[in-house]
């Protein structure tokens, strides 16, 4: 088995891109720039698929998602459709025998996530959440520091994700029918970060302000843990912020610069505020290739779960966001419909 810790590929695993939106373009660009084989793209719109394939020099453009997942020359499907369709499209690909890398948030709720992971496990396939920040070099180094005890007892995490995004009520970010709101789009980053470091919280306290369309405009949450640790998390979709994160321990702290979930430097201080380490590892492209390298590693190993982001980690994130939404009074159609949204 060949591992590619630098986010590169030998090109043997063949990727299919399901969806042709903005995030699909970002992931595809990173794949191509780092030696991954992007074999096909699929869209509901034939012209959109053709244009996307031409832009990225992708050999095959399919006129439907069904055709993409049926393509015998595709091994892994990257699901990049709006949140409400992740569940249906991941199941579509898995049932066609394809591994899936599913954009975050992995699904609308924990029930949908559980169904995807259960099917993947039953078929011996990989279902991986595309929480790209977990696989970046600075996050790997941060986990090493915490693990070796350099910070002492880690007591607190503070993480924010605030952006000034489109105000149009019809935009998917503001549309409850498409899983809109700050929490699922932006808050998933700090929530995943807290669960990465501390695990599943024992208690959650959350509050929010809502938009006129009925989704959360800004949300804040405190995660509380059995040993007294806290994670202070916030997100907002109509006001930009510094987007920094801090990990605080009894023997020091780590300050992750803006934007903390992107490839970015951090500084480790001792408890007196003296600089102990400055970490900065430049990466090629945007950095989304590292999650793709993990997917290929799992495929080669015949494994359905890795250590950085196993299914249980993604399920914990979705469960935490379910609880936050319960407290702030934000629900989606998929919460009351067992099958969720099966059509698009």
Q: What residues are annotated to the active site?
A: 104
In contact, 245 and 190? CB cutoff 8 Å:
yes
- Residues 299 and 279: their CA atoms lie apart, in Å, by 31
DSSP state of 114: H
- Residues 242 and 160: their CA atoms lie apart, in Å, by 8
Per the omega criterion (within 30 degrees of 0), is the bond before 259 cis?
yes
DSSP state of 252: E
The string over 296-333, giving b where at least 16 C-beta atoms fall within 10 Å of a residue's C-beta and e elsewhere, is: bbbbeeeebbbebbbbebbbbbbbbbbbbbeebebebe
Residue 113 in 3-state DSSP? helix
The string over 210-238, giving b where at least 16 C-beta atoms fall within 10 Å of a residue's C-beta and e elsewhere, is: bbebebbbbbbbbbebeeebbbbbbbbbb
C-alpha distances (whole Å) from 112 to each of 50, 88, 174, 339 are 31, 9, 22, 8
- Residues 78 and 27: their CA atoms lie apart, in Å, by 9
Residues 6+ apart with CB under 8 A from 197: 143, 146, 154, 157, 231, 247
Q: Identify which of 82, 122, 70, 126 has the alpha carbon closest to the alpha carbon of residue 100.
A: 126
In whole angstroms, how large is the CA radius of gyration of the chain? 20
Where in 71-147 does DSSP place strands (E)? 76-79, 99-103, 127-130
Q: Identify which of 20, 69, 26, 25 has the alpha carbon closest to the alpha carbon of residue 44.
A: 20
- Residues 91 and 120: their CA atoms lie apart, in Å, by 9
């Amino acid at each position: 088995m060949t591992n590619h810790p630098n986010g590169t590929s030998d090109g043997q695993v063949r990727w299919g891109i399901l969806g042709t939106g903005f995030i699909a373009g970002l992931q595809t660009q990173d794949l191509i720039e780092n030696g991954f084989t992007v074999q096909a793209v699929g869209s509901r719109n034939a012209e959109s698929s053709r244009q996307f394939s031409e832009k990225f020099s992708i050999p095959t453009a399919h006129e439907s998602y069904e055709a993409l997942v049926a393509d015998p020359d595709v091994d892994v499907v990257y699901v990049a459709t709006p949140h409400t369709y992740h569940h249906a499209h991941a199941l579509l690909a898995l049932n066609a025998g394809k591994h899936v890398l599913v954009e975050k948030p992995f699904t609308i709720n924990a029930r949908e996530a559980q169904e995807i992971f259960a099917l993947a496990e039953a078929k011996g396939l990989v279902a991986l959440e595309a929480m790209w920040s977990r696989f970046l070099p600075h996050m790997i180094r941060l986990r090493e520091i915490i693990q070796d005890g350099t910070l002492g007892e880690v007591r607190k995490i503070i993480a924010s994700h605030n952006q000034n995004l489109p105000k149009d009520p019809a935009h998917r970010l503001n549309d409850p029918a498409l899983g809109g709101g700050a929490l699922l789009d932006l808050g998933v980053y700090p929530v995943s970060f807290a669960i990465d470091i501390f695990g599943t919280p024992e208690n959650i306290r959350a509050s929010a302000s809502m938009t006129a369309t009925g989704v959360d405009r800004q949300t804040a949450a405190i995660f509380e843990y059995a040993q007294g640790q806290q994670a202070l998390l916030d997100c907002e979709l109509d006001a930009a912020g510094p987007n920094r994160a801090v990990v605080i321990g009894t023997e020091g702290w780590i300050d992750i610069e803006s934007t903390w979930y992107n490839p970015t430097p951090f500084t480790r201080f001792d408890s007196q505020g003296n600089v102990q380490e400055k970490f900065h590892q430049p990466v090629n492209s945007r950095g989304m290739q590292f999650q793709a390298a993990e997917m290929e590693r799992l495929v080669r190993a015949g494994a359905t779960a890795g250590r950085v982001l196993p299914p249980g980690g993604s399920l914990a994130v979705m469960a935490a966001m379910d609880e936050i939404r319960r407290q702030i009074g934000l629900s989606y159609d998929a919460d009351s419909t067992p099958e969720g949204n099966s059509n698009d």
